Amino acid sequence: MEPDLRFPARIGLVKLYNGRISNLSAEEIEEWSNAKERLGGGFGEFIPVSSLIAESVYTAPQTPSRQSQARELMRKVRLASARQHLDVTLIYEVFSSSKQTKLATSVADWTIVGAYFVPSKSIETTGFANALLMDVRTGYPYGTASASLSADDLASTFDRRDKLRNLKDRNQIETALQLVPEVESMMRDLMKELADSETEARSLESVAVANP
């Protein structure tokens, strides 16, 4: 299937979390807006895909299978993107893995006060973000991008769950922000590739007209 993308384009933004369309954070919206400005007037615009529109245009199969979940989610995204009259959609997913390591001070866990206040655990989380640029009409994949970011903190026995959850939440947003310049680079390469293809096509057409 041949690519059909032309710039400037209306590019949808879809963030997936736990298999669902999720709202973009204020920081993400600002960073995507900055990327649009850096890419220039010939690029087009980023438009968040509405989860409400996605739910209104999509009807789930009566007997969905685990194998079909990813396919159905992509169908939902394309239907919502089509309803918003978008040309392509950038779908990105952020997830993380975490680990905890005992410190030498973990002996403080044996005391009531120590368990509350003395840092006895090193907590670390690594965020991962993957992005796919997909044609709304045909499903053609134009490009991919990825990013990862690690963060760590110290925690006592009693606050480690809260600290780990906060660390994961913050790191996932930071990982999403880390993804933006990677997508920007992918977009620049794609714009150049398409422009070169159009120039080559016009050149061949001119040659064909001059030599019938």
* Residues 64-98: tens digit of each pLDDT: 666 677 788 888 999 999 999 999 999 998 877 66
CATH architecture of 9-210: 2-Layer Sandwich (3.30)
User: Within the chain, what is the greatest distance between any pair of CA atoms?
Assistant: 92
pLDDT tens by residue, 136-157: 998 899 999 988 777 654 443 4
| Range 86-112 average pLDDT | 64
Q: Residue 191 and residue 181: Cα distance in Å, rounded?
A: 15
User: For 51-67, how does the pLDDT look when each residue is reduced to its tens digit (9 = 90+)?
Assistant: 889 988 888 776 666 66
Strand partners, 97: 126
Cα–chain-centroid distance for residue 125? Answer: 18
What DSSP character marks residue 185?
H
Delimit the domains of the chain by residue range.
9-210
The pTM assigned to this predicted structure is: 0.76
Tokens of 1: 């299937």
**Residues 6+ away with beta carbon under 8 Å from 169:** none
SS3 182: helix
